[in-house]
Amino acid sequence: MLFTSFSFVVLVAVTFCFYYLPPLHRWQVPILIAASLVFYMVNQADLLWLLLLSISVNIVASYLVVYGRTDLRLFHATWGVVVNLGILCFFKYGPLLSQTFLPANSTLGETLSALPLPVGISFFTFQGISLVVDTYRNRDVPRFRSLIARNLAQHAQTVFFFKAFFPQLISGPIVKAHFFLPQISRKYWADIQWENCFRTLVVGYFLKMVVADNLKDHTMLITYPYFEGYSSLTLLGLLFGYSMQIFADFAGYSLIALGLAGLFGYTFPANFNFPYVAVSFADFWRRWHISLSSFLREYLYIPLGGNRHGVWRTYLNLMLTMVLGGLWHGAAWSYAVWGFGHGLALALERFVDQHIPLKSTRITQVIRSSVVFSYVTLLWLLFKLPDFNHVVAYCRAIVNNVGKPHDSRVLSLILLYSLGVVGYHVHYLMRSSESHYEPSTWEFVGCGILLFFIITNSGSAGTFIYFQF
């Protein structure tokens, strides 16, 4: 069930009506749980049991960390994290490991290769890990401990809601337990921030339906063997278009999720902060997929030692974090290479900043921002073409197809639909230069224009790119 589908609009509308009925206020959380189950079943009913298993593991592990034997708290937290990771690794990476390490005709290899990929497993697994780890870390903190109900049924309902809340169930943002659990309370119609929800939803749907869904019909030419016949400039234009598409697609989803959560009285962390204006690779990762970046930093990079054990250990921790972050995105070695590429860029940048400090001027910022964007865009090729041979062939075509005629139509349409993302970032740069920013009437006029384009110029419906992760 896509956020852009009519059936989803109906689900949200019906849920919203029941949710705010005064006689049903005490049933608000169960109503959202029921809606979330319907949402997941429409997407992948045959694997609902896996979501329920994951939720059950986290219910038991987090409860035992607080109310089990004190000498077994670490044990319960450990097995909770291990089981979460085990489920993720088995279903998501089983096919990859079997293809890499097992004979092609082995029974086990065939079984693992046939495993289905559960929708949203990377996201709800990381949220489960967040719950178990946060509970263990804050087991003796009264304010957090009070969020873990003594009544097991009440605790089960809280965890179920935390992991399954439908706006973020399939593609995030990855909401941490210590951020979300304190928000669980009775919500009221009068508390809805209508203007913020409206702006967020309109911009999110515009990025997805007008920008991403139109660009996808042209960036499909990046796939093998279509790209081989196009000129170098056209191939570079296609890469630029895909960079715009993947941002519009994922940022659009995240904004829609934030807007939907706001309608039900909940706040999600921002997942994007205009990443294509980043002036460094570190800045890019503070702006792109923020919930994943902060999760990896808090639950992986820092526990590995962060930058506390010397220069080379810092570089190693950085590389490990980014490679594993790359693999989180998909069960193919190309994603690990993508993570390695970003880790290498971060490490080199850290080295240069420490040993060859450059004076920051407007010109150097523009140059650095251009380098970051170009490098990030080139690495997106590993997302679009998981097969290394195709990546190499695409790069070879860029070099060899200089003399071929350009496809002006494709380049023009890519540029046209990319203007939405460019304008989105330009608007940010304009308003960030102001000392105090307040939404103006013109912003709502702009939202009206975006709504007009959504109605009149949406592309054909397509699944969100991050659904596959």
Catalytic residue among 76, 178, 329, 390: 329
Q: Rounded to the nearest 5 degrees, what angle is found at the Cα of 354, between the Cα atoms of 353 and 357?
A: 50
Picking from 298, 299, 296, 273, the residue whose alpha carbon sits closest to that of residue 286 is 273
Quote the tokens at residue 362. Answer: 């407007």
Helix (H) or strand (E) holding 393: helix 388-400
For CA atoms 204, 251, 164, 133, the dihedral sign is negative
Structure tokens at 27: 């049933």
Query: Is 329 labeled as catalytic in the residue annotation?
Result: yes
Q: How far is residue 240's CA from residue 235's CA, in Å, rounded to a whole number?
A: 9
Angle at 466 between CA 303 and CA 34, to 5 degrees: 90
What single-letter amino acid sits at 45?
Answer: A
358-289-204-379 Cα dihedral, nearest 10 degrees? 70
Q: What is the residue-wise DSSP string for 71-124?
A: GGHHHHHHHHHHHHHHHHIIIIIHHHHHHHHS-TT-HHHHHHHT----TTHHHH
**89 contacts: CB under 8 Å, gap ≥ 6:** none
How wide is the angle at C-alpha 429 spanned by C-alphas 413 and 438, nearest 5°?
Answer: 115
The C-alpha atoms of residue 108 and residue 105 are separated, in whole angstroms, by 9
State the chain's maximal CA–CA distance in angstroms.
73
Give the C-alpha distances (Å, rounded to integers) separating 156 from 62, 126, 309: 10, 18, 40
Distance CA 120, CA 469 (A): 6
What gap in Å lies between CA 403 and CA 394, rounded to an integer?
A: 16
Name the residues annotated as catalytic.
329
